[in-house]
Amino acid sequence: MAYTAPVRDMTFLLREVLDYPRYGNLPGFSDAPIDLVEQILEEGAKFTAGVLHPLNTVGDREGCRRHDDGSVTTPTGFKDAYRQMCEGGWTALGADPAYGGQGLPHVLNLAFNEMVSSANMAFGMYPGLSHGAYSAIHIGGSDEQKQTYLPRMVTGEWTGTMNLTEPHCGTDLGLLRTKAVPQADGSYRITGQKIWISAGEHDMADNIIHLVLARIEGAPAGVKGISLFIVPKFLVNPDGSLGARNSLQCAGLEHKMGIHGNATCVMAYDDATGYLVGEANKGLATMFVMMNEARLGVGIQGLAQSEIAYQNAAAFAKDRLQSRSITGAKRPDLPADPVIVHPDVRRMLMEARSFNEGARAFAFWTALWGDLLHKSPDEAVRQKAGDYMGLLTPVIKAYLTDRGFANVSNALQVFGGSGFTEHWPMSQFMRDCRITLIYEGTNGIQALDLVGRKLASNGGRAIFSFFAEVDEFIAAHETDADLKPFVEGLRTAKGRLQQATMWLMQNGMSNFDNAGASSHDYLHLFGLTACAYMWALMAQAAQAKVRAGDADPFYVNKIRTGEFFLARVLPDTAAHLEKVQTGAAPVMALAEVDF
């Protein structure tokens, strides 16, 4: 069980595919020229592989323990690893310099997050959720709230959580019941029960800043009456020191299939002191800005689990001797050939590999748009970036986790019976990865968000902008003989996505169920097309190196892996298009009672 962070692939993307240096004039980027980025990634690789990864199995086996007083102990080593993470400045990487952050580009933070999520996904959720809470306060909080909470969340001394779900409401937050009663001093008393609160209680930080959705007494019903509150575990004195223990506690830990190392808490708020973030009844808006960021992070978790599962499966396949190649012994010196000689084992490895590299490019490319959204001086660029972030976030969240999980399952399969035992790490990867399809909005919700909201927004501006960009690339490269299969694959995929989009525009409005019934396949068709575009960009960069005589096998392997994607993955676009176009009728034909 080992993990090697894909730094080579990451720097290839930044340096050669996405031309990171051209953004050197933007804030944050100017502080992190590409050479420094490489150094940071190398350091991140050492930290995640050396400190976090050895604790992955420990976390799975030990899990978290809740004590009678409501306190929670994390697995052996987590506390110390978290301390090292803070000391290394990793929690501050992408945070605002105004509050002690390093203000580095989002894309760099995302790269580091991939490493963390590969090395130890359950651990990564503590700083991950904390960053979400940081973002919510950063977006919606008052100056005083920011000054009070952000600096110590940036150093990692305090962590944060997001409290949305209640037993009767997960996706449908309009149903939530946790109530907030205004106090004379401007604060609120928060009472209610929240469930599935990741990192809700633990022993790694001095304070935990809970962000809690609640309904102020007398607020409208439904989503229009939801407000967001800061509810710290320990109240903070005016001088910044910790004050009284707030009346909230972890009432229980969830027993889960995976991510055992993360404390998934039932949180009980009993007249706890809370502070309104932003305006009353506007809590969801802030939460959703934060949530979009979190959704990208979950997509990265899907990729990250696929990456480490692939690495382990490839190592096992080169080591495990079993049967001879069907084309004749490849290692007659050994009692049997390593199983990597078998084409169906290769198929599973190549599916994972071609996904990992394409999905990583897709995520990096999108993250760069996220940086441009906040940092570009050009309004047109910022608008396009905003359009893209809206359009692509649900695709990244759902496509990367659906396919990531499928790859983890295939990687387990490479191990044969060993994969099913807990002696090897594959079971944990699969059990951990399974949550990524669910949390931060199930993948079905992502697909509905894509077809129901993001596609139609601003008259389809975002998707047409994406099509125009792809068309431009195709037009610019269609005579490049070296790129021909990539351009043709992209053209076919994009054509199918366009057909599906037209179908949705014509049929999804007249009957919303048509949109809902095709949303899953449409999202996958989108993910495949986006990855086909990424593969074309990567092949272009790699071909340039090969043509220039660069002998590094990295480049030829990159092209070959892309060719696998074209031949063996992209054909799924045809099936997805056909399914999109069936509409809702076959899906909705049965009466509820007949299920």
73 scored as a contact of its own copies (CB under 8 A)? no
Q: Which residue, 210, 122, 95, 201, is CA-closest to 163?
A: 210
Q: How far is C-alpha 381 from the geometric centre of its chain's CA atoms? A: 24
Are 525 and 573 in contact by the 8 Å Cβ rule? The answer is yes
Are 134 and 92 in contact by the 8 Å Cβ rule? The answer is no
Q: How far is the CB of 135 from its own copies (least distance, A)?
A: 22
Q: Which residues contact 263 (CB under 8 A, 6 or more apart)?
A: 64, 66, 72, 74, 198, 199, 200, 201, 202, 250, 253
Under rule CB under 8 A, which residues in 161-190 are in contact with its own copies? 165, 168-172, 174-175
Work out which of 33, 50, 343, 377 binds its own copies, going by CB under 8 A. Answer: 343
Under rule CB under 8 A, which residues in 512-571 are in contact with its own copies? 512-513, 515-517, 519-520, 553, 557, 560-561, 563-564, 566-568, 571
Q: How far is the CB of 583 from its own copies (least distance, A)?
A: 9
**Quick check: is 201 catalytic?**
no
Q: How far is the CB of 592 from its own copies (least distance, A)?
A: 5
Under rule CB under 8 A, which residues in 396-425 are in contact with its own copies? 405, 409, 412-413, 416-417, 419-423
Total residues in contact with its own copies, by rule CB under 8 A: 96
CA 360, CA 389: separation in Å to the nearest integer? Answer: 16
2 scored as a contact of its own copies (CB under 8 A)? no
Neighbour count for residue 38 (Cβ, 10 Å): 16
Under rule CB under 8 A, which residues in 196-215 are in contact with its own copies? 196
CA 314, CA 213: separation in Å to the nearest integer? Answer: 44
Q: Residues 34, 534, 312, CA angle at the centre, nearest 5°?
A: 80
- According to DSSP, the β-strands at 207-216 and 234-236 are unpaired
Neighbour count for residue 469 (Cβ, 10 Å): 13
Under rule CB under 8 A, which residues in 80-139 are in contact with its own copies? none
Under rule CB under 8 A, which residues in 222-281 are in contact with its own copies? 254-258
Q: For the window 499-518, what string marks contact with its own copies as x by the rule CB under 8 A?
A: ------------xxx-xxx-
Q: How far is the CB of 90 from its own copies (least distance, A)?
A: 27
Q: Which residues contact 395 (CB under 8 A, 6 or more apart)?
A: 446, 450, 523, 526, 527, 530
3-state secondary structure of 276: strand
Q: Closer to its own copies by CB, 476 or 588: give it.
A: 588
Q: Closer to its own copies by CB, 146 or 454: give it.
A: 454
Neighbour count for residue 457 (Cβ, 10 Å): 14
Query: Considering only 88-96, 134-142, 335-343, 372-380, which stretch makes contact with its own copies by CB under 8 A?
Result: 335-343
Q: Closer to its own copies by CB, 33 or 586: give it.
A: 586
Q: How far is the CB of 310 from its own copies (least distance, A)?
A: 9
Catalytic residue among 307, 440, 469, 488: 440
Q: How far is the CB of 316 from its own copies (least distance, A)?
A: 11
Q: How far is the CB of 433 from its own copies (least distance, A)?
A: 11
Any idea which residue has 């910044």 for tokens?
240
Q: For the window 427-466, what string marks contact with its own copies as x by the rule CB under 8 A?
A: x--xx--xx-xxx--xxx--xx---x--------------
* Amino acid at the residue 46: K
Neighbour count for residue 28 (Cβ, 10 Å): 21
Query: Considering only 20-28, 133-141, 318-326, 355-363, which stretch makes contact with its own copies by CB under 8 A?
Result: 318-326
N- to C-terminal Cα separation, the chain: 44
345 scored as a contact of its own copies (CB under 8 A)? yes
Are 281 and 225 in contact by the 8 Å Cβ rule? The answer is yes
Q: Closer to its own copies by CB, 15 or 560: give it.
A: 560
Under rule CB under 8 A, which residues in 287-316 are in contact with its own copies? 314
Q: Which residue, 240, 224, 311, 272, is CA-closest to 48?
A: 311
Q: Which residues are catalytic?
A: 440
